[in-house]
């Protein structure tokens, strides 16, 4: 009898401690979700996990498996998304779930995501136009590399039996030099295809827009002409160095700083117009990102590593001097998020006289940050020059020079969907599928 009583109290104590810990964890994650909604990081922007609440048993395996911080967490014994917009779609959570309660989807029930329609061979409805990597929904580096290799392997089979081509006609033109574009370019060399790779910026693709020292997640992968790359967690700088090493060892030629301007259909394929010339290619492989081309300021120093066009983790900035450029919701939300971190001095630079197109809630929150002296607004101002440790900002009265550690630019951009629509590529809107 005594043994039964002791066992009962022991089990009750264990259950009680577990319940208390679970409650603390839930409250902590609910606060994180609230903050994520304030920062605009709660809504997913591309492929992300969907948790079936009817199946989830709250094992926490998905949370442990996720290599990113605070993407997913347990709330009331069930897995819930926290900062869904930061998810890179690696799928580790879905693989780790012991009962299959998680699947990767595009969009939500109320917010659709535009995804180009492609065949299993990555071809769009336009014959000869292929899409791989992030634009097609695959954000994980390993997946993008795999797609870049596979699309060229498919093309090499198609082109193998063709007759001899004109000397100025490329087998394929690869647009973009991120993971998918580099992999496709290497595969083209391996299969002896005549190709040209065009990149509007520098080597690296979307990774270039990441903040300095941003942790980048991937998995071991095989690069054509280079070999096995055993990476799981690395930094932005280390990954960019890897691409430079790969290009150097394989003597791969990539035409950087050459933006594609237009594409026209020709009898033999496509004529591609860039800022530096024209190319005739039988096929086009689009390996560009989904976020579009950020509009740049065109000022000295804008190519410094401390300049970024997207804020991913405001928490990484503390006790720093930061300038945010722009007058829309993205700029205002970034300034608020950065101003909320300990010790930051944030300047919000906007060329207009007043904010006229931001949400009322953002205006209210921004006013509160200004009142607390967490954010300083400089209306009618323009960035003149970005230095290693300072920045020059012009106003109607003078040019001021202030200390600066980071610059975030939100000046709009050109979305890839506009280009896809222009050439006739079919786009599907996915709602949680």
Helix (H) or strand (E) holding 373: none
Q: What is the pLDDT of residue 164?
A: 47
Report the Cα 340 to chain-centroid distance in Å. Answer: 23
Residue 21 resides in a domain: no
User: 403 with 426, same domain?
Assistant: no
Paired sense of beta strands 72-75 and 78-81, if any: antiparallel
The rounded distance, in Å, linking the Cα atoms of 306 and 180 is 25
Q: What is the pLDDT of residue 369?
A: 94
User: 252 with 167, same domain?
Assistant: yes
Residue 132 resides in a domain: yes
Residue 27 resides in a domain: no
The rounded distance, in Å, linking the Cα atoms of 226 and 267 is 36
DSSP 91-140: -HHHHH-TT--EEEESS-SSS-EEEE---TTSB-SSTTEEE-GGGGT--S
Q: How far is CA 194 from CA 65, 142, 179, 295, 383, in A?
A: 42, 25, 20, 32, 43
Radius of gyration of the chain (CA): 25
User: 404 with 255, same domain?
Assistant: no
* SS3 of residue 299 by DSSP: coil
Residue 47 resides in a domain: yes
User: 60 with 130, same domain?
Assistant: no
Please list, in sequence order, all residues whose beta carbon lies within 8 angstroms of the beta carbon of residue 395, skipping any fewer than 6 positions away. Answer: 378, 380, 381
CATH number at residue 100: 3.30.70.20
Q: Which of 190, 171, 194, 175 shows the shortest CA–CA distance to 254?
A: 175
* SS3 of residue 429 by DSSP: strand
Q: Which domain holds residue 378?
A: 307-411
User: 420 with 401, same domain?
Assistant: no
Instruction: Report yes or no: 258 and 273 within 8 Å, Cβ to Cβ.
Output: no
Q: Is 134 exposed, middle or buried (0-12, 13-18, 19+ CB in 10 A)?
A: buried
Structure tokens belonging to residue 390? 């300072």
User: 207 with 322, same domain?
Assistant: no
The rounded distance, in Å, linking the Cα atoms of 317 and 275 is 36
Q: What is the pLDDT of residue 217?
A: 54
The rounded distance, in Å, linking the Cα atoms of 43 and 236 is 24
Q: What is the pLDDT of residue 399?
A: 94
* SS3 of residue 245 by DSSP: helix
DSSP 187-198: HHHHTT--EEEE
Structure tokens belonging to residue 146? 């795999």
User: 420 with 405, same domain?
Assistant: no
Residue 277 resides in a domain: yes
The rounded distance, in Å, linking the Cα atoms of 51 and 72 is 10
Q: Which of 293, 200, 239 shows the shortest CA–CA distance to 88?
A: 239
The rounded distance, in Å, linking the Cα atoms of 108 and 50 is 9
Q: What is the pLDDT of residue 325?
A: 95
Q: What is the pLDDT of residue 135?
A: 78
Instruction: Report yes or no: 70 and 32 within 8 Å, Cβ to Cβ.
Output: yes
Domain termination residue (choose one: 46, 72, 105): 105
Instruction: Report yes or no: 50 and 432 within 8 Å, Cβ to Cβ.
Output: yes
The rounded distance, in Å, linking the Cα atoms of 206 and 293 is 10
Q: What is the pLDDT of residue 134?
A: 77
Domain termination residue (choose one: 84, 105, 126): 105
Q: What is the pLDDT of residue 402?
A: 95
Q: What is the pLDDT along the chain (433 residues), one digit of tens a residue?
A: 556 666 656 566 555 655 666 777 788 878 888 877 766 677 776 678 888 888 888 888 888 888 777 888 888 888 888 888 777 676 778 888 888 888 888 777 766 777 788 888 999 999 999 999 877 766 567 788 889 999 999 999 888 655 545 567 999 999 988 888 999 999 999 999 999 999 988 877 766 666 555 555 566 777 788 778 776 666 677 778 888 888 888 888 889 888 888 999 988 889 999 989 999 999 999 988 776 677 889 999 999 999 988 887 788 899 999 999 998 888 998 999 999 999 999 999 999 888 877 777 788 889 999 999 999 999 999 999 999 999 999 999 999 999 999 999 988 766 677 788 888 888 887 776 6
User: 130 with 209, same domain?
Assistant: yes
Q: In what order do the strands lie in the sheet with 382-386?
A: 382-386, 390-394, 399-403
CATH number at residue 384: 3.50.50.60
User: 163 with 257, same domain?
Assistant: yes
Report the Cα 170 to chain-centroid distance in Å. Answer: 30
Domain termination residue (choose one: 45, 75, 105): 105
Number of domains in the chain: 3
Q: Which of 372, 200, 235 shows the shortest CA–CA distance to 313?
A: 235
User: 124 with 272, same domain?
Assistant: yes
Tokens 């198609």 correspond to what residue?
Answer: 158
User: 197 with 237, same domain?
Assistant: yes
Please list, in sequence order, all residues whose beta carbon lies within 8 angstroms of the beta carbon of residue 35, skipping any fewer than 6 positions away. Answer: none
Residue 166 resides in a domain: yes
User: 244 with 272, same domain?
Assistant: yes
Residue 151 DSSP code:
H
């Amino acid at each position: 009898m005594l043994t039964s009583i002791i066992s009962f109290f022991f089990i009750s104590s264990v259950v009680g401690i577990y319940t208390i810990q679970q409650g603390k964890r839930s409250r902590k994650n609910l606060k994180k979700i609230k903050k994520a909604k304030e920062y605009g990081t709660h809504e997913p922007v591309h492929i992300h996990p969907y948790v079936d609440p009817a199946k989830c048993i709250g094992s926490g395996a998905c949370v442990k498996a996720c290599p990113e911080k605070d993407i997913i967490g347990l709330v009331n014994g069930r897995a819930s998304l926290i900062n869904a917009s930061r998810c890179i779609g690696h799928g580790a959570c879905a693989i780790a779930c012991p009962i299959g309660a998680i699947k990767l989807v595009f969009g939500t029930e109320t917010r659709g995501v535009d995804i180009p329609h492609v065949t299993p061979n990555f071809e769009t409805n336009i014959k000869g136009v292929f899409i791989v990597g992030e634009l097609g929904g695959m954000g994980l580096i390993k997946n993008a590399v795999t797609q870049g290799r596979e699309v060229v392997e498919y093309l090499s089979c198609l082109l193998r039996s063709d007759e001899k081509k004109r000397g100025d006609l490329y087998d394929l033109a690869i647009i973009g030099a991120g993971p998918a574009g580099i992999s496709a370019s290497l595969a083209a060399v391996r299969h002896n295809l005549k190709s040209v790779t065009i990149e509007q910026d520098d080597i690296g693709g979307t990774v270039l827009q990441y903040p300095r020292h941003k942790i980048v997640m991937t998995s071991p992968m095989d690069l054509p002409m280079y070999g096995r790359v055993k990476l799981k967690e690395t930094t932005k700088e280390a990954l960019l160095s890897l691409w430079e090493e790969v290009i150097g060892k394989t003597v791969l030629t990539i035409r950087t700083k050459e933006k594609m301007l237009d594409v026209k259909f020709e009898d033999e394929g496509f004529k591609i117009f860039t800022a530096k010339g024209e190319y005739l290619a039988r096929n086009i492989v689009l390996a560009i990102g989904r976020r579009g081309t950020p509009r740049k300021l065109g000022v000295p120093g804008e190519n410094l590593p401390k300049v970024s066009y997207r804020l991913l983790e405001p928490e990484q900035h503390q006790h720093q001097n930061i300038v945010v450029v722009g007058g829309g919701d993205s700029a205002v939300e970034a300034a608020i998020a950065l101003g909320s971190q300990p010790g930051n001095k944030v300047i919000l630079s906007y060329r207009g006289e007043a904010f006229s197109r931001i949400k009322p809630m953002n205006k209210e929150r921004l006013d509160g940050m200004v009142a607390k002296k967490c954010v300083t607004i400089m209306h009618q101002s323009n960035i003149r020059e970005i230095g290693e440790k300072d920045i020059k900002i012009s106003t109607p009265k003078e040019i001021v020079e202030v200390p600066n550690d980071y610059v975030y630019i939100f000046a709009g951009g050109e979305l890839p969907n506009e280009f896809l629509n222009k050439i006739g590529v079919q786009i599907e809107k996915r709602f949680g599928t």
